């Protein structure tokens, strides 16, 4: 098909997508940062402060954790604090409702906000982890969020190695979640990609695995090494609200 819908034609695209979902026996959702922006998550790279002149890829790395823990701690403490009060938007709840209706099998997300689970989705694969959970990098035991923010040592091994349970630059993705996502996408009849430009490997390779149809919902068009059956260009939450009108 390779159809593009935007602006006034979103309504038509939402109707087509609703029928695709109803016809599919196995549907998987893949989300990126664009799924969360309507929950008013600030872009820390654009805010005033010391971090605006620091490459976040350097700060959010295992190297910085090992060599400059105070900088790492300040960076992630800031990121955690700006998520205080952030709630799922209507689009998150619509996806959770689709799962309850048996219309989607799973959600794979690059986001670390935990908003899909908070909205009620159960089968969520957090490919990059969850920033709201804490563990010790030394003994791998679970830690408390308040202990990390306070700069305390691990209560199990007494090592100052507490960190958010996220994948840092220089670390591998969680193999359990990754293998389950691969399995789900390989058997999917419909893959809906929401809010990601698919520029980061290895997530960019996931759509190649499906033999089914591929749909893009994103604020801007995306060029990839595979064809989308349809593209809906606009804000994820607004498009999902339009889609919800046609899901019986």
CATH number of domain containing 1: 3.40.50.1220
On whether residue 157 sits in a domain, the answer given is: no
* Residue 203 domain-assigned (yes or no): yes
Coil, helix or strand for 234?
A: coil
208 belongs to a structural domain: yes
Three-state SS sequence of 13-81: HHHHHHHHHHHCCCEEEEECHHHCHHHCCCCCCCCCCHHHHCCHHHHCEHHHHHHCHHHHHHHHHHHHH
Domain with 192 in it = 1-41+89-128+173-248
Number of domains in the chain: 1
Cα–chain center distance at 68: 27
Cβ atoms within 10 Å of 117's Cβ, excluding its own: 19
pLDDT 10s digits, 186-225: 999 999 999 998 887 888 889 999 999 999 999 988 877 7
Residue 52's pLDDT is 54
pLDDT in tens, 111-121: 999 999 999 99
**Could you tell me if residue 14 is inside a domain?**
yes
Q: Give the residue numbers marked as catalytic.
A: 128
Asked if the structure places residue 74 within a domain, the reply is no
Residue 62 inside a domain? The answer is: no
Q: Interior CA angle at 101 toward 100 and 106, to 5°?
A: 60
For the stretch 108-159, pLDDT in tens is: 999 999 999 999 999 999 999 999 999 999 999 999 999 999 999 999 999 9
* 111 assigned to some structural domain: yes
The overall average pLDDT reported for the chain is 91
Is the pLDDT at 236 greater than 90? The verdict is yes
Instruction: Please indicate, yes or no, if residue 11 is contained in any of the structural domains.
Output: yes
pLDDT tens-digit map of 23-40? 999 999 999 989 999 998
């Amino acid at each position: 098909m390779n159809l593009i819908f935007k602006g006034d034609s979103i309504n038509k695209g939402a109707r087509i997508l609703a029928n695709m979902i109803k016809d599919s026996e196995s549907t998987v959702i893949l989300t990126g940062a664009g799924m969360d922006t309507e929950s008013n998550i600030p872009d820390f790279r654009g805010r005033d402060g010391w971090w605006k002149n620091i490459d976040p890829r350097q700060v959010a790395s295992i190297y910085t954790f090992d060599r400059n823990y105070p900088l790492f701690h300040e960076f992630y403490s800031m990121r955690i604090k700006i998520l205080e009060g952030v709630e799922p938007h209507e689009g998150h709840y619509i996806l959770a409702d689709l799962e309850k209706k048996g219309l989607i099998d799973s959600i794979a997300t690059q986001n670390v906000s935990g908003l899909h689970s908070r909205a009620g989705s159960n089968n969520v694969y957090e490919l990059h982890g969850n920033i709201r959970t804490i563990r010790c990098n030394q003994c791998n035991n679970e830690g408390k969020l308040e202990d990390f923010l306070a700069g305390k040592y691990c209560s199990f091994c007494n090592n100052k190695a507490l960190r958010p349970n996220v994948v840092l630059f220089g670390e591998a993705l969680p193999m359990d979640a990754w293998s389950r996502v691969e399995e789900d996408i390989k058997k999917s009849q419909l893959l809906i990609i929401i809010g990601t430009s698919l520029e980061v490997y290895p997530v960019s390779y996931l759509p190649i695995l499906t033999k089914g149809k591929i749909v893009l919902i994103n604020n801007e068009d995306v060029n990839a090494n595979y064809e989308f059956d349809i593209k809906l260009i606009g804000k994820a939450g607004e498009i999902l609200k339009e889609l919800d009108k046609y899901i019986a």
